[in-house]
Amino acid sequence: MTRQYSLSYLTLERDPAETIEHAATAGYDYVGVRILPAVEQGKAFPLFRDKALLAETMRRARDTGIGVLDVEIARIDGRSGAEDWLPMLEAAGRLGARTVIAAGDDPDLSRMTDTFAALCAAAAPFGLTVNLEFTPWTALRDARMALDVVTASGAANAEVLIDTIHVARSTTTLDDLRAIPPSRMSYIQICDAPAGVPTSRDELLFTARQERLLPGEGGVDIEAQVAALPASLIVSVEIPSHTRIASVGAAQWARRTLDVSRAAMERFDAARQSPVPARV
């Protein structure tokens, strides 16, 4: 089994053209692109307005052979609707992206489901799936809720996105991961983090957005999560570390995150394929 790897936007937080160059040099297969911000006034690269950057991104993708795995982010917060995300979807289609990440933060679960279904319908003509991601500090706080919304949406192109740090810091169990149909997943985001679950929202956000760890450096049981999920998933390496990027630079961090993540995944995959010795 040969895994494919994507350099997540959050790992470097660079513009998409530069991200593609770093991904190509490091040996990734895909990249992620943030077109709309994850938070109000957050950093993003609105390619639907910046036609020059869109053209440059498409050129570099073509020249390097690096694909665009995901674009971000559709924030389902009870205020936005599918029409607000249409420019992002159109740009994603131009890039040949595979999927759009959606974040669920609408306290009205029924309305969230309806909005998610409308987003999936809007994404379908561009050949896009929509991956719904849960985070423990939002209304959509665990994998069970995410699967419920994806299932209730009735959309054929709806998927659940698993991020190892969010599993570890939510009430999600390994059985919850096993309950997700393989047809409802296409990739996983991996990273490590310090052991334990922070008690404050600020600490949760700080680690998730600024200082994650390389696989094996922290207390997340990544291997158990990987073993509970389909073996064919693409691996999105999402390991932001503002401290280490400042120290070693973006290019070296891109290489390091891939090298460590690939080595870890190869160990995990080998372990799951090895037969369990029979008891004597």
Convert the pLDDT of each residue in 186-196 to its tens digit. Answer: 999 999 999 98
Mean pLDDT of 134-157: 97
| Contact (Cβ atoms closer than 8 angstroms) between residue 51 and residue 59 | no
Mean pLDDT of 4-30: 98
Express as a percent the part of the chain with pLDDT over 70. 98
Give the Cα separation of 137 and 165 in Å (integer). Answer: 12
pTM: 0.94
Q: Report all structural domains of the chain as residue ranges with CATH numbers, in order of start.
A: 5-273 (3.20.20.150)
Give the Cα separation of 105 and 95 in Å (integer). Answer: 27
Give the Cα separation of 192 and 207 in Å (integer). Answer: 10
| Contact (Cβ atoms closer than 8 angstroms) between residue 121 and residue 130 | no
Give the Cα separation of 119 and 153 in Å (integer). Answer: 10
Give the Cα separation of 227 and 144 in Å (integer). Answer: 18
Q: What is the pLDDT of residues 226-276, one digit of tens each?
A: 999 999 999 999 999 999 999 999 999 999 999 999 999 999 999 988 765
- The structure tokens listed for 62 are 């073509």
| Contact (Cβ atoms closer than 8 angstroms) between residue 57 and residue 93 | no
Give the Cα separation of 240 and 228 in Å (integer). Answer: 25
Mean pLDDT of 58-62: 98
Model confidence at 200, pLDDT cuts 50, 70, 90, reads confident
pLDDT number for residue 278 = 45
